[in-house]
Amino acid sequence: MNNSIRTRESLYANPAHPLPQPMPTLTKKEQEILEWCARGKTSAEIALILNRSETTINFHMSNLRTKFDVTSRHAAVLKAIKLGLTLLP
């Protein structure tokens, strides 16, 4: 039991400094859509800009949420920035 307590304590010893996460590999289209999301565009607006269907944009957004292990487009943008991806000029 002492070993499990030490293990748990070591896992949470310094939550302010989590282990670095690698940047997921993004397709060119995913990166482009993420950049438009960072500018505050909706899926419908991005679809018009890129001349694609809103369903296609949402498909790529779903892939982005999976790759960044988040549940929203805003969280995906924040995580991308946190991992060092430059989204805005």
pLDDT in tens, the chain (89 residues): 555 555 555 555 555 656 567 888 999 999 999 999 999 999 999 999 999 999 999 999 999 999 999 999 999 999 999 999 888 87
Q: How many CB atoms lie within 10 A of CB 36?
A: 18
Q: Which of 22, 71, 49, 81 is nearest to 61 (CA)?
A: 71
Task: Tell me if 25 sits within 8 A of 55, measured CB to CB.
Answer: no
pTM comes to: 0.74
What is the rounded CA–CA span in Å between residue 44 and residue 52?
9
Residue 69: domain span: 26-89
Q: What is the CATH number of the domain that holds 41?
A: 1.10.10.10
As for how many domains the chain has, the answer is 1
In a domain, 71, yes or no: yes
Start-end of H helices in the chain: 2-11, 28-38, 43-50, 54-68, 73-82
SS3 86: coil
43-50 helix and 54-68 helix, angle to the nearest 10 degrees: 120
